[in-house]
Structure 1
Amino acid sequence: MADGKLKQGDRVVMHSCIEAEDPNNYGKVWTCRTDQFTRGKGMTAQDSVFLEGYGSSFAPEFLQKVSLPSEDERILAELKEMKFKILHANFIINRLRDAVSLSKSIMNYFRVISKDEIDEAKINRMIDELSLLLPKQST
């Protein structure tokens, strides 16, 4: 945009005007359907641009050009985020499997011993073993 004018294909958002406050327009990214042009002459000259999907021309002073990542970059970023979420979910699932396995072992242990053999030290050791499998809480 060397000359400061909007070009066909530029992506813009509306600002500082009543149209920008409309819930259908608020934050919406528009694509310029035409290059910026001047209509009228002299005192009545006014710059305008047509936007795809907007019913009439629009004053460029109420438009801000935006730079958006390409579709490939956007998709790649989404894939990376999904991969991270899947890896995190797999980590949690594996920790839960470990916890279930330990819980089963503890239950089997309690089935084998009599009530007289259960002491606080054994219970505390089992709790310590179980806590090693649980994710650490961040403070």
Structure 2
Amino acid sequence: MINTTFTELLPKIASHFGLDKLSQDEYGLCELILNDRVVIMLRADEILNRLTLLGPILGFSGPEARSAASQLFFCYSINALNKDGPCFAWSEELGLIAFKHLSLDELNVENVSKEIANFYDWLSLVSLPAETAPSYSIYSIG
């Protein structure tokens, strides 16, 4: 068993991705911007002993997208049960969000990096094409 804290992991994750640093905001979220379209947020909860990866699914926000978001939700939800795939939530502000909980006990920089890469690939697969989805070019890493 690997026993670590998110505070210990953060600089190692930044180094692995070639960044100077990663930092948490006042809500405990850390934004990892992998390109101009995909933002993955990391949120640690040491009381529940987990790290959560969160990412908006591009093209599935606003009232008009609820029907399409519901179809995507039903299509992929079984993977969260059977294949350790991401879970979903709906936010009025962001639209459809995917998330995945990871136990802090089992994490090191290699495991987290692999999970982030898999989550990124999955978000890229289910998000709408760039010409129909908004860009996240205004974000920066703190």
Alignment TM-score > 0.5, same fold: no
Higher relative contact order (CA 8 A, sep 6+): 2
- What band does the TM-score fall into relative to the shorter chain? under 0.3
Q: TM-score, normalised by structure 2?
A: 0.24
Report the structure, 1 or 2, having the larger strand content.
2
Report the structure, 1 or 2, having the larger helix content.
1
Q: TM-score, normalised by structure 1?
A: 0.25
